[in-house]
Structure 1
C-alpha cells in the first residue's frame, strides 16, 4: 500500500508520476517535453501507476498531465525508428488497450483532467475515464487518418458516447473540438476556466471520496456494461486494423510526412 503523498519513483524524468492523497490516486503524464507522447516506456509507466492505484484500493483515480498537452497521441518518432513498424504499433496498441480496459473496469471512479490538446490516442485515453473535466483551453482531435492510420485506443467506443455519425465525423474529417463543443457532445462532464480547474477537480474528488464507493462502482459497471458490453473485442479489432494500416504505403508515407513536417502524398494501393 502506498503512503500519503508518496511518489512512485524518485526519477524526475519518469514519464508518469503517482501520488496517493486525499483518499484518491493521482496519476500524472509527466513527459511534457515530448507532449506526453505515448510510446512503450510511457505505456509501461502508466500501467504500473494504475496497478499502484489498484493496490492502494483507491476509490477515485485522477488522470492528468503536465505541460501544454494532455497527450499528442502516439510517438510517431518511435514508430519510424522501429525495425518492424507494424509489429511495434501492434504491441503499443495492445499495451494502450490494456490500460484503457483497466481504467474502464477498475473498481474506482476514474476522472481525466484535460488541459491543452488531447490528440490521437490521447483523445480516447481521456475518454476512457468515467468523468472528463476540462479546462476552457482544452481541445480534442483524432488525426489518425491524416497520417494514413486507423484509429486505436478505444476510439471506436466513442460511438457509444457521441453517437455513430459524430464519431465518424471526428475520425474521418479530424476536426478540433473545443472544450465547450466536447461538453455539448456529451464527452466532457464539466468545463472550467483554466485557473479554476484544479479547485473544481478537488471538489469532485471530495464528493466522490465521501460518497458510497460500493454504489458508485456498481453504477459504473451497470452503465458501462450497457453502453459497451464487449470493449476488449472492439479494442482488439482496432489493434489489428492499425497494424495493417502501418504496414501499407499510405501509413508509411503519413508517418514520414508528419516527421518531415510536410503534407503527405498518399500513394494508395498503387
Structure 2
C-alpha cells in the first residue's frame, strides 16, 4: 500500500482499507483515488478477503475532492474530467465489488466523501459524525456525489442536501437511510467488526451472487426484477454452498462452506 492508504486483513478475512492522509482531511485526490481503486481491484480477486471495511485516520472521514489540487488545475479541463471520471470508476468498483463493503464513519464525510459512504453497502457512524454535499456553497454542484446519494435516500431528501449544502448529523443520516447504525465513539469498532464478522461467516459465493443481484434488480421494472431474481435463485441452488447450507440447516449442524 501507499502512504495514502493502509490495508490490513485479519484471520476472518475482513480487510480494512484506511484512508491515511488526515493532514489533507483524507481528501480524494487523484493519488488517493488511484490507491483506493488499485486496492479494490486487488481485493476483487483476493480469495482471502470476505468483507471490506473502509475507515479513515483522524477527525475527518473524507472531505471529498482535494480543492487545492483542483485549484492548481483550474485551467486544465482534461485533468478535471479525468479526476471526476476516476472518482466515478472507484465508486462503481465499490458497488460492483463481489464482497460486501462497510463504511466506518468517524468525523465528517462531505461531498465525494459522502458519496463514498453512500456507495458502500453498509455504513456505521459514530454519534458525532456529520454529512453534507456542500458543493453548491462554492459554486460546484455535487453532481457525481448526487448519483450515489440519490440511490440511497429519497429524492426530496437528496435534493435538500444538494440544494442547501447544509450538514446533517448522524442521527438524521440514519433516519434518511444514509447509514445503518449510529453508535457512541467507544462502540464504533465493536459494532463495525461485529457486523463484518457476522457477514464473513456466510458463504462468499452466496454473498457475491446476492450483492450483484441486489444492485442489478434495483434498476429494473418490477416484473423484470422478479423474473431476473427467480432465475438467480434457481441458478444459486446449483451451487455447492446452497446444497450444503440447506442440508446443514435440516441436519441442525453448522455449514462448511466451499465458496462455490
TM-score surpassing 0.5? yes
Residue 144 of structure 1 is matched in structure 2 by 135
Q: Secondary structure at the match of 1:27?
A: strand
CA distance in 1 between counterparts of 2:219 and 2:34 reads 25
Counterpart selection for 1:44 from 34, 55, 65: 34
Q: How do residues 1-270 of structure 1 correspond to structure 2 at under 5 angstroms? A: 8-9=1-2, 14-21=3-10, 22-57=12-47, 58-82=49-73, 84-228=75-219
Return the offset for 1:49.
Answer: 1.5
How many residue pairs get aligned? The number is: 218
CA distance in 1 between counterparts of 2:17 and 2:144 reads 18
**Conserved in 2, the CA contact under 8 Å of 1:59 and 1:107?**
no
Return the offset for 1:154.
Answer: 4.0
CA distance in 1 between counterparts of 2:209 and 2:181 reads 22
Q: Could you list the structure 1 runs, at least 4 aligned residues long, displaced by more than 6 angstroms after superposition.
A: none
**Conserved in 2, the CA contact under 8 Å of 1:160 and 1:227?**
no
Task: Choose between structure 1 and 2 for higher RCO, CA contacts under 8 A separated by at least 6 residues.
Answer: 1
Q: Secondary structure at the match of 1:162?
A: coil
Check 1:228–1:76 CA distance in 2 against 1; reply closer, same or farther (3 A cut): farther
Return the offset for 1:177.
Answer: 1.2
Q: What does the per-residue CA deviation read over 1:149-193, in whole Å, with 9 as the maximum and x for residues that have no partner?
A: 122444223223211111111101012111110101111111110
**Conserved in 2, the CA contact under 8 Å of 1:134 and 1:192?**
yes
**Conserved in 2, the CA contact under 8 Å of 1:17 and 1:49?**
no
Task: Tell me which structure has the larger Cα radius of gyration.
Answer: 2
The TM-score normalised by the length of structure 2 is 0.79
Aligned alpha-carbon RMSD (Å): 1.5
CA distance in 1 between counterparts of 2:142 and 2:40 reads 23
**Conserved in 2, the CA contact under 8 Å of 1:100 and 1:128?**
yes
Return the offset for 1:227.
Answer: 2.8
CA distance in 1 between counterparts of 2:22 and 2:148 reads 27
* Greater alpha carbon shift after TM alignment, 141-150 vs 218-227: 218-227
Gapped regions of structure 1 (runs ≥ 5): 1-7, 230-270
CA distance in 2 between counterparts of 1:87 and 1:30 reads 27
